[in-house]
Amino acid sequence: MLIPRFAAEAATPRKSEAGAGAGSRLSQFGFPLLLSVGVIDSATRMAFLTFLPFVLTAKGASLPTVGLALTLVFAGGAAGKLVCAFIGARIGAVATVWLTEAVTALGIVALLPLSLEAALLLLPLVGVALNGTSSVLYGSVPDLVEPARRQRAFGIFYTGTIGAGAVSPALYGLLGDAVGVPSALVVVAAIVLLTLPITLALRPALATRPPTS
């Protein structure tokens, strides 16, 4: 059964069966929606890391400064795994993804007009949002898939997200060649915002999660 048994539901079996059927349908759509968010998130992360050195170089950054900038992003990303897991446990996966993806989009756009020094100060926060989302998404996979199918679901999820991260630099690179790096980053930020309505559509499925055993 996809709906946990509660005493109130046991007293109304016909209603419980209808709820279970709805939960089954929501779960069927839930994992593809989650995968879509993961694909966009992974593609965004790799595209941003591809374009960041060009943005910083245009601001006058030297090679060591670019290395420092990437270190700041990665340090923020490492902290983001812990921070977003902590936030997700308190406000829920949907609200956390909304927060991190909105901060990611705003952070990417905000980097463009900033001076080099201000951009370096912003990068750890961008790293937190950029990398933190994935921990929430991975943790939501068991909530949307029955126990017997979880191993396969994780395989699909990792393949989809890693594959998106692998091809996105080439695809966004073509876009950058066509319209320029700043405009390409604006497109990256806009595509990140597509995760917001997708995640909102995911909310009912997460509310109808399968049992853990």
What one-character-per-residue DSSP string does 107-150 give?
A: HHHHHTTS-HHHHHHHHHHHHHHHHHHHHHHHHHHHHHS-GGGH
Q: Where residue 27 falls among pLDDT bands split at 50, 70, 90?
A: low
More confident position, 44 or 213: 44
* Residue whose C-alpha is closest to residue 140's, from 161, 124, 167: 161
Measured distance CA(138)–CA(184) in Å, rounded: 28
Long-range CB contacts (within 8 A, 24+) of 168-177: 168/42, 168/43, 168/44, 168/46, 168/47, 168/50, 169/46, 169/47, 169/50, 172/43, 172/47, 172/50, 172/51, 173/50, 176/51, 176/54
* pLDDT of 130 over the 70 cut: yes
Residue 56 · residue 66 · CB < 8 Å: yes
Mean pLDDT value of segment 152-164: 92
pLDDT tops 60 at residue 15: no
Residue 58 CB neighbour total at 10 angstroms: 12
Q: Is-contact 34 141, C-beta < 8 A? A: yes
Residue 76 DSSP SS3: helix
**pLDDT above 60 (res 10):** no
pLDDT band at 207 (very low <50, low <70, confident <90, very high): low
- Determine the pLDDT at residue 9: 36
Q: Tell me the average pLDDT of the chain.
A: 83
Chain CA centroid to CA 140, Å:
11
Q: What is the pTM of this model?
A: 0.81
Q: What is the pLDDT of residue 21?
A: 45
Percent of the chain with pLDDT over 70: 84
* Least confident range of 1-10, 110-119, 189-198: 1-10
pLDDT for residue 29 is more than 90: no
Give the domain ranges of the chain: 19-207
Per-residue pLDDT for 200 more than 70? yes
Whole-number Å distance between alpha carbons of 193 and 103: 10
Segment 165-173 mean pLDDT: 94
| pLDDT average, residue stretch 83-108 | 88
* pLDDT at 148 (0 to 100): 87
Distances (CA, A) of 77 to 7, 81, 131, 134, 136: 43, 7, 5, 10, 13
Per CATH, the number for 19-207 is: 1.20.1250.20
Q: Rounded distance, CA 97 to CA 94, Å?
A: 5
Can you give the pLDDT at residue 208? 55
Question: Is residue 77 within 8 Å of 132, Cβ to Cβ?
Answer: yes
Tokens of 171: 């695809």
